[in-house]
Structure 1
């Protein structure tokens, strides 16, 4: 009979993952806690990396996308966001993918959160010029009419969320129909239609952002459906939420699991 892993097993496994993500400076943050809260440093390694990051349900690149999205949405963790942007580059994300993730989260957390995250990303890229150019080919279509943009948004919304467009318009028709149109034109016509990330990755980032925000339960349910609609699995959804327990806290993760349970039941 195999025995359960010990704390030392978890700690060593966590250090290995931490080194994969953080490279030569991966342990600096943990070491910096030695004089005031060494047990907190150990918890970060054992739980955050030994237990969570080492789980097989997502790749390290996916986990870094999820963490960058969540920390961007939270808006108050610039040092941790910087560390995870660096970590994303180390495990194979391109600067353009990092920027695209931040743009995606801007739809849900707002432009100030996105602008603050871009400031953090700019500093990370300046220190890692070998990672490449953060500016991908522009997806903006200056010659496009408003109606063409709107129709592209409707088509993308239908691809991601199915009949969500009908619910959006029904909910806003009597109070703010222009808001519904902006959701279609901007969120889906402009942002979701960009080529920098595939739809599954966009939905993973969105689930992470809505979980971290903690105030977007209905939208989280819509995007859990969306993740499943574009090729994500229930296991990936659950893994993303479990990971957020370490970054947005257990209450946020528990609320998101409740939302996921409802979504899964509705699809059966």
Structure 2
């Protein structure tokens, strides 16, 4: 199987009604971009699902989730992209993606629920979340949770509940966070902060730029240009 072939087939319904759109859309998104951007298939699929969550591309997500399953992502990895999303996008925007994901997995005889990836409890999530923040963002995050209610929630919920889970590495989790934010738009301070965090844990400027370029077809040029600008600024300030 290949991303190009599977993705083109997934969009074949456009052939009869919109043949010119089908020709140019699939040529750009699934031939030109995929051929030119040198990334592992797993990274391409991981980032694309996070981008589609970020831009609320539910119909496109329905088409690309099976492509991801065929080309490098495990059900656990896909669920982890989903589980982490509400903290950056909100439950109101992510819940429809849960329904679609479960329907597609069940149709493919993937037994749900999947094995647990949790490593924290409700009792130690704050402590473990702060440890994770310090690991990713540096010692300045010590006692961050004491600065206000939302700071506490960020430490225990965002980082203690989700970043501590297995199934994805720190590099994967910071990558998909950057993708949510880049696709969402209007959150440039957070986008810059997570561009810096990505660089700090080994996701290079070149790598992040390739991820943005790979996903231009899904969110368009304005938000992609903003993401590349954030990467450049983060690299200059590293």
Is TM more than 0.5 here? Answer: yes
Determine the structure 1 residue equivalent to 2:216: 245
Bigger CA drift: 47-56 or 107-116?
47-56
Residue 39, structure 1, aligned to residue 39, structure 2: no
- Within 2, Cα distance between the matches of 1:60 and 1:134? 25
CA spacing shift, 1:59–1:163, aligned 2, 3 Å: same
Question: Which of the numbers 43, 49, 62 marks the counterpart of 1:82?
Answer: 62
Give the conservation status (yes or no) of the 8 Å contact 2:127–2:160.
yes
Q: How do 1:1-268 and structure 2 match up within 5 A?
A: 17-19=3-5, 21-22=6-7, 26-29=8-11, 31-75=12-56, 77-129=57-109, 135-139=114-118, 141-142=120-121, 145=123, 148-163=124-139, 165=141, 173=147, 177-267=148-238
Greater shift, 245-254 or 225-234, is seen at: 225-234
Q: Secondary structure at the match of 2:63?
A: helix
Q: 4+ residue stretches of structure 1 with deviation over 3 A?
A: 131-134, 166-169
State how far apart, in whole Å, the 1-side matches of 2:44 and 2:225 are: 19
For the residues of structure 2 that align with 1:215 and 1:54, how far apart are their CA atoms? 30
Q: Distance in 2 between matches of 1:202 and 1:134?
A: 21
The alignment of Structure 1 onto Structure 2 pairs a total of residues equal to 238
| CA 1:214–1:228: 2 relative to 1, 3 Å | same
Q: Secondary structure at the match of 2:17?
A: coil
Alignment root-mean-square deviation, CA: 2.3
For residues 238 and 217 of structure 1, the distance between their equivalents in structure 2, rounded to whole angstroms, comes to: 16
Q: Which has the higher contact order (CA 8 A, sep 6+)?
A: 2
The question of whether the paired residues in 2 share the 8 Å contact of 1:66 and 1:204 is answered with yes
Cα deviation digits, residues 200-241 of structure 1 (max 9, x gap)? 111111111100000111111111111122221111100111
Q: Which residue does 1:9 correspond to in 2?
A: none
* Contact 1:105 1:114 (C-alpha < 8 Å) held by counterparts: yes
In 1, Cα distance between equivalents of 2:111 and 2:201: 29
Structure 2 length normalisation: TM-score? 0.90
Deviation at 1:140, TM superposition (A): 5.7
| Structure 1: gaps spanning 5 or more residues | 1-15
**SS of the residue 2:219 aligns to:** coil
